[in-house]
A and B are shown apart, each in its own frame.
Chain A
Amino acid sequence: QKEVEQNSGPLSVPEGAIASLNCTYSDRGSQSFFWYRQYSGKSPELIMFIYSNGDKEDGRFTAQLNKASQYVSLLIRDSQPSDSATYLCAVKGYSTLTFGKGTMLLVSP
């Protein structure tokens, strides 16, 4: 059974700080990794994906992948109250995604 593990949180950070969200996965053969943001009562929205070891930056978001450690993270710089949401990590298997249960992020003004 492929597993994707995330700390459920909540992770509380002050406005302007860096939020660090982490995810580990069990399937060593996984190739693509995704971060989704989900506001309460809304559907998941794709933020970014990564498939090579290292960092990938998109605006205030940076995804980091370490395949040897089976670890993927999302950094949010200059966190804003509007970033308060649940962040889902997803890992691609052969044809489907396995999702973690998400980490709730709370950014306080």
Chain B
Amino acid sequence: DVKVTQSSRYLVKRTGEKVFLECVQDMDHENMFWYRQDPGLGLRLIYFSYDVKMKEKGDIPEGYSVSREKKERFSLILESASTNQTSMYLCASSLYGGQGEQYFGPGTRLTVT
């Protein structure tokens, strides 16, 4: 089974702090994704990566950056956290060349105060 893990289930940070969210997958998937999920807005894609050191902007990249130094690890960085970044953050991975099915980690509930 695909396993995607995320570094924290719950995180509380202060406005202006730099925040790192880590995601690791163990199935040698090439593609990795970061989403945020908010009530009424659904899942929105922040960034994705289809290879090491490669990254592509999703629908809402503003205020975020990402890093992919190793194939299994994809990090989301909030350079200066703001209260409107309070959300559920979900990481997912998929196999390049497959049908596109994505497997999600458990999510990180981030609260910025």
Contacts and interface: CB of A to CB of B under 8 A. Distances in A.
A96 B96 CA distance: 11
Interface residues of B, number: 21
B64 interface: no
B109 to A, nearest CB: 8
Top 4 nearest A-B pairs (CB, nearest first) are A101-B42, A92-B100, A43-B104, A99-B43
Contacts of B100: 32, 34, 49, 92, 95, 97
A42 B104 CA distance: 10
Interface string B69-95: 000000000000000000000100000
A17 interface: no
A96 B106 contact: no
Contacts of A90: 102
Contact of B41 (A34, A42, A101): A101
B33 A96 contact: yes
Contacts, number: 47
Contacts of B103: 46
Contacts of B99: 32, 49, 51, 92
Contact of B90 (A32, A34, A44): A44
A102 B43 CA distance: 9
B106 A42 contact: yes
Contact of B42 (A32, A45, A95, A100): A100
A76 B56 CA distance: 36
B87 to A, nearest CB: 13
B35 to A, nearest CB: 8
Interface in B1-57: 31, 33, 40-43, 45, 48, 50, 56
A21 to B, nearest CB: 15
A36 to B, nearest CB: 8
B101 to A, nearest CB: 5
A45 B102 CA distance: 9
A101 B102 contact: no
Interface string A69-93: 0000000000000000000101010
